[in-house]
Amino acid sequence: MNPADWLPHRPPFLLLDSMVSIEPGLRASGLWHLTGDEWFFPGHFPGRPTTPGVLLLESIAQCGAVAVLADPKYTGRLPLFGGVEHARFRRQVVPGDTVLLECEMTRLSARGGKGHGRATVNGDVAAEADLLFILADIS
C-alpha cells in the first residue's frame, strides 16, 4: 500500500515507503527504509549519520495521518500538528535501518485528535510520543 495514496506529502518529505496495515480511523503501521542517500544525512552528522528525532516524529505523524485519512469521514481534510507530548528518543536510527512506524488514535473527532505513536528498529524502540493534531480543510 502506497502512503501517497492518502497523504499530500511528496519526496523528499514523504517519510513512509509503504503501509503494512491500516484500520481506518483507528491505527496504521508502515515502513521507512533508510538507505543513507537521504537529504539530511550529510549534515546530521558528518561522519556519523543519524536520523533527526524531529523527522522520526514526523514519520510517526504521517503514519497516523494515513489512519485518519483512510476513514471516509475525513476525506478532504488535512491533519496538522497541534502538539507533541511525552516524546522520548531511545536509540539512534542510522543508514541501513528499516523503521517500523505505528500510530494508534486515542481520540478522534471532526476537529482533531490525539494519537500515540512509536518508531522501532528490529523490535527496539527508537522514538515514541503522543501527537496532537487538528483537522483543517484542504481548500
The catalytic residue positions are 44
* Beta carbons of 91 and 126 less than 8 angstroms apart: yes
DSSP state of 69: H
C-alpha cell, 8: 499530500
Side chain identity, residue 53? G
Question: How many Å apart are CA 113 and CA 20, to the nearest integer?
Answer: 22
Residue 25 backbone class (left: φ over 0; alpha: ψ -120 to 50; beta: rest): left
At 111, which amino acid appears? Answer: R
Instruction: Mention every residue, 6+ apart, whose C-beta is less than 8 A from residue 64.
Output: 28, 79, 103, 105, 115, 117, 131, 133
